[in-house]
Structure formats: structure tokens, C-alpha cells
Amino acid sequence: MNTQISESSENYLETILILDNEKKMVRVKEISQKMNVSMPSVHNALHILEERGFVSHEHYGCVELTKKGRATAKKIYDSHMQLVNFFTAVLGVTPDIAEQDACRIEHVISPQTVEQMNEFAKKYLSDAQDRGNR
């Protein structure tokens, strides 16, 4: 089974996770609306994700992340949020731009780099707070 995942598939997994956290019942129509793509596109993507063991989906039923899918989606989402936080808190980028940039970057940046950025942000913010308390 091929478990490599494309940028598009990562976006679908992340969207399914977000919708699942909001609603607990994720349907094709909701994914379509959230991602601004057609319902046939969602069906095609779900078919690929299902073949690779990331989701389960009954025809006309709910979409559910498998254990593997949830773990993968969580990694993608966590990386996204760390990038957004770095861009806004450290670099002073507006939230809208930070979201857009994180969406683009999260697919190509290494986990090690994201972690180092996160550690830098923690230290930077802690140091800034210490400077403010003087």
C-alpha cells in the first residue's frame, strides 16, 4: 500500500480533522464547502485517502479519519499552527497572511525546522517578556 501523501491529500486530511473537531459528523458537502472545491473532487480525494488507509467513507455517509489518518492530520495541523504562531508572534505578520503562508509552507518544511522555529519562538517570547518586566 502506497502511504506517500500529496499536498492536496494533506489539505483534505487537515480539513477533515478541523471539521471533525467542530462537528463530529463530517460529510462530503461540508468538505467541499470548506475547501471551496467540487463534490466530485472531494469524492476522488476520499477514494485515494481511503485506498491509502487514511479515511473510511461509506457512500453517502460520514467521512471518518482512521487512526493513521488522525495521527497524520494532527501532525499537519500542529505544524500549520506552529508556523502561524511563529509568523504572527515573532515576525509580526498579520493573521491572514500568516495563515496563507503556513498553508503553503507546511507541505515542504521539515518537522525538524518547524520544531526549531517553535523552540526559537518560545525563547524569543520569554526573553521579550523578561525585557518588558524590567
Backbone angles phi, psi at 64, to 5 degrees: -130, 140
Domains, the chain, in order of start with CATH, read 7-70 (1.10.10.10), 72-129 (1.10.60)
pLDDT at residue 3 is higher than 70: no
**CA distances, 37 to each of 9, 23, 77, 107 (Å):** 13, 20, 20, 19
Q: Per this entry, what is the length of the chain? A: 134
Please compute the mean of the pLDDT values over residues 62-78 and round it to a whole number.
95
Sorting pLDDT into bands at 50, 70 and 90, what band is 134? low
Mean pLDDT of 8-28: 93
133 vs 26, residue with greater confidence? 26
Dump pLDDT digits (tens) for 20-39: 999 878 999 999 999 999 99
